[in-house]
Amino acid sequence: MNLQIEQGDITTYAVDAIVNAANTTLLGGGGVDGAIHRAAGPQLLTECRALHGCRTGQAKLTKGYRLPAKYVIHTPGPIWQGGTAEEEELLASCYRCCLQLAEEKKCRTVAFPSISTGVYHFPLECAAKIAVREIAAFLQTAACVQKVTMVCFDGRTKAAYDNALAEQ
């Protein structure tokens, strides 16, 4: 399986597509979303405005502009509400929709952040297991996507993804 877990800054990855843990407006925000918008430049916001938002668990694609990545795939992850609002299924859907878009755009390399585990408070260990499970399942049948990198913001996040991958 070609799933790598790394600690780093997703805005520096020279891949076909990076995933943005966006909010439903797609108009930028904090965390990785703000960092991607800052690094890509103002054209990203202009293109995002034309997309008219995105539902939680879905994904939309834009150009990468000033990023080293060709595309940005924006996906609004679920806000954790105690596990009673289909958060796990919505998070799994984020990964599946992003990978499907990457496949449709003939992307070979994709980099993901840890979706929903920052200000949306999704429990990290649970999120890591969902992400690894969905990515691993997708890679078994993917025609174009060959390498997926989980880019973790800090050591705690990387450790959770390393553990999830070891259990896969």
Q: Work out the widest C-alpha separation in the chain, in whole angstroms.
A: 41
The confidence score (pLDDT) of residue 1 equals 65
The confidence score (pLDDT) of residue 127 equals 98
Whole-model pTM: value is 0.97
The confidence score (pLDDT) of residue 18 equals 98
Q: Running along the chain, 168 residues long, what does each successive block of 10 average in pLDDT?
A: 94 98 94 96 97 98 98 98 97 98 98 96 98 97 97 97 96
| Number of alpha carbons in the 13 Å side-chain half-sphere of residue 74 | 28
The confidence score (pLDDT) of residue 115 equals 98
Tell me which residues are annotated as active site. Answer: 33
Question: What domains are there in the chain, each with its CATH number?
Answer: 3-167 (3.40.220.10)
The confidence score (pLDDT) of residue 166 equals 96
C-alpha span between 67 and 70 (Å, rounded): 7
